[in-house]
Structure 1
Amino acid sequence: MPSVPPDDAPALHVEKLDVTYGRALSALRSVSLDVPHGAVVALLGANGAGKTTLLRAVSGTLRLHRGAITAGGVRYGDTALDGRDPVAAVRAGVVQVPEGRRVFAGLTVDENLRAGGLGLAIGRALMAAPRLLLLDEPSLGLAPMMVGRIAEVVREINAGGTAVLLVEQNAGMALSLAERAHVLEVGEVRLSGDAAELARTDAVRRLYLGETADGAGGLDGRGAA
């Protein structure tokens, strides 16, 4: 069984993380964030901001995409995850559901199964009994009714004690679920704070919730980056 971090320690600690692809393309620069034990944390940003790269760094799947951590570190409780493979992350209690619910093409069927990845529906990931679930765009391509159901499922998972790091283009849904949120821009954290407070800032309302100067729009699950 994976070790459980003490209640006063973050389940996940990312510190000054740098990631490159192919030894040339800088994807993340000095990214730091925590996911508290049992919390939902949202990660927002435009396409190419580095959100998926961060999840890959945590789950150990960077090497499948020719990526590497070049500075900083990732820890879950007392376990260092940087430089480890996906199976090591799962053993520590960390499971990823990749964008579009795809399998990890660079892993064997057996490794996909052990990583909670084969089929990549959220239910399959939960078979690994994660302490921390990494969700990458779970509402991608879904109808509004299904987006609402996904939100309910995330709440149910979290209510069972599983922490969630949620990458989601539907910023309205993500901010309504999360306690804290971070905004990535071009590989760097630009904004961090309480999710409800960030949702009230002009920048987040304009860029991620689709609100106009008169305040139209809002946290109804329709806003998207």
Structure 2
Amino acid sequence: MGRPSSLPGILTVMVDGELFEDCPDLAVGYIREPDRIQIRSVNRASDAEPAADAQDEEPGHEHEASAEPAANTVTVREVADAWRRVTGWLQRNASDSYAALRAGASPAAIAALEEDLGIRIPAELSALWLLSAGDDEANGWGCLPGNKALMTLDAVAAAYRLKTEAQADDEARNADRPEDERITVWKATWIPVVALGPADSTTCGGRR
């Protein structure tokens, strides 16, 4: 019923304010999952982002523009299904770890992180963070196998800066090295997601 918004996986439906007393027209942002609908935002329709004018699109790009939101919607559903299986297992077998999971981040928080990192966050990662924005640990244990922890958005930003600065130092040294001896430990497009433990701040797994 809704149309894709500018945020990955978020659909928007317009509500006519005349149906309710003293209510303006509203734009409701939501995630549609197989067994539920989760509302993420409610704004005045006048404040909502206007839809792109089809006349401004370059010839041949119409299909590309419409296909991407549809693909993102499928991705969000797949991530939601997979994460539900993970959290279901935690709830049944590791209730403390399940309780330590943070609530989902807001679209605004993810957009702010994207601006901070200066790169685009993939739709599947945005979908995960909308469901859970990290792991607060349980008795020193992370929620993922091997005691790994789902990083909070603040930890993601801090780790990204740390890795980027370390690579900048290596790049300076690489200028004096033969090409086959140059070292690359981090790329700007890599995003840290999982830490090796709740207290780990130096080593992390990421989304490339």
Q: TM-score range by the shorter chain?
A: under 0.3
Superposition TM-score, scaled by structure 1 size: 0.21
Higher gyration radius (CA):
2
Higher strand proportion: 1
